[in-house]
Amino acid sequence: MPVSALPLNNGQEVPWIAFGTGTALFSKDAADAVRVAIENGFTHLDGAQVYRNEETLGAGIVASGKPRSELYITTKLQKLQPGQTPKSALEGSLKKLGVEQVDLYLIHQALDHPGKLKEVWKGMEEAQKAGLTKSIGVSNFTVDHLKDILEVATIPPAVNQLEYHPYLWKAIQPVLAVHKQFKIVTSSYGGLSPLFRGKGGPLDPIVEKIRARLESTRGQPVSDGQVLNKWLQQQGVLVVTTSSKAERIREYLDTANVPELTAEEISLIETAGSQQHKRYFPGNWPSE
């Protein structure tokens, strides 16, 4: 199944959906989950140093038998240890992953580097120039964080990965404006949180109404999750998601084949989302 790709601001492309190895797989052996994800169609694997499972992410890639050239691997910089640089930290990740280069390397948290973001970003650029990663970017960056590094950047971030779903749609608009200005791809994690962490909210009846319409149009089942993932996909957002179930993995990838939401349906989701502000991963963001 072809997975559509998003253009990055450096001429590279990134598959629009990624299999994440954080949250449920945090500090756990991710090998089997990664193998199942690849065998069922995922090509983009989203890891991080802080997840403490890069070795097993690498083992899952080997177990899948998929050539490295057909995969897209992301990892993220954790809080730097004394004497460490973003480049040396990535060298450690490459050894664990068993690859010579990642496709995307992100600063995981601006909050990990108080007062040092400019310096850390220059270190990220050094890692890219050394050929250890094709693209660099950030994660959980606010407007102020982005402006801080853009003052010194010779390479602008290609991606900003952050919690993004309809209950944050209103709050995220200032960040999206900066993304648009610098052609930074927005990447979403926790995109389905309103469905299972926030049941009973104003979004529920809207999603159900749209789901029923899409199912009728398509003539085969459409899930609530596909409705929200389609909403993200139609905005050109990179979706990071995860599941231990092969059936659910296939469902996520099948979102690409679900009919498009109408302009009215997109507006309904955003209006309902604006009625409630809810952040499900508050520790990743400065207090609001």
Let me know if 108 is a catalytic residue. yes
Tell me whether residue 44 is one of the annotated catalytic residues: no
Q: How many CA atoms lie within 13 A of 2 on its CB side?
A: 3
Calculated CA dihedral for residues 109, 111, 113, 118, nearest 10 degrees? 80
Distance (Å, rounded) from C-alpha 260 to C-alpha 140? 28
Measure the CA–CA gap between 30 and 34, rounded to whole angstroms.
Answer: 6
**Phi, psi (deg, nearest 5) at residue 78:** -90, -175
Q: Which tokens hold the place of 202?
A: 């104003």
Please, which residues have CB within 8 angstroms of residue 168's CB and are 6 or more apart in sequence?
A: 273, 277, 278, 279
Element spanning 103, H or E: strand 102-107
**Two tokens, residue 154:** 């010779």
Q: Which of 44, 51, 72, 164 is catalytic?
A: 51
Report strand pairing: 159-163 vs 13-15. unpaired
Beta bridge partners of 12: none
User: Of the listed 44, 108, 145, 165, which one is catalytic?
Assistant: 108
Give yes or no for a contact between 14 and 185, defined as CB atoms under 8 angstroms apart: yes
Helix (H, G, I), strand (E, B) or coil at 197: coil
Instruction: Report the catalytic residues.
Output: 51, 108
